[in-house]
Amino acid sequence: MILGTPPNNYDRNWFSRAFDRLSIELRNRYTTNQDIVVDGNRLVLVSPNKTKYKLTVDDAGVLSTTAL
């Protein structure tokens, strides 16, 4: 997705349109009842106390986390 070049000065309408387009794109990509596949990259979860954990799975399907 290309949002275009932002103006040199703050333009509320430009940013409003850009954020609207970004919201629509994210909503279309990450909807409920849709798989999210992470292949070759990290999946990081954040706990309520803001600690970050990397989630991994081995070939047997065993999940583990590592604090970052």
> What are the tens digits of pLDDT across the range 1-59?
677 788 888 889 988 988 888 888 887 776 667 777 777 778 888 889 999 999 988 88
Is the separation of the CB atoms in 53 and 42 below 8 Å? no
pLDDT at 3: 74
Q: What is the pLDDT of residue 6?
A: 83
Residues 3 and 56: their CA atoms lie apart, in Å, by 33
Total residue length of the chain: 68
In SS3 terms, the chain reads as CCCCCCCCCCCHHHHHHHHHHHHHHHHHHCCCCCCCCCCCCCEEEECCCCCEEEEEECCCCCEEEEEC
Mean per-residue pLDDT, 61-66:
92
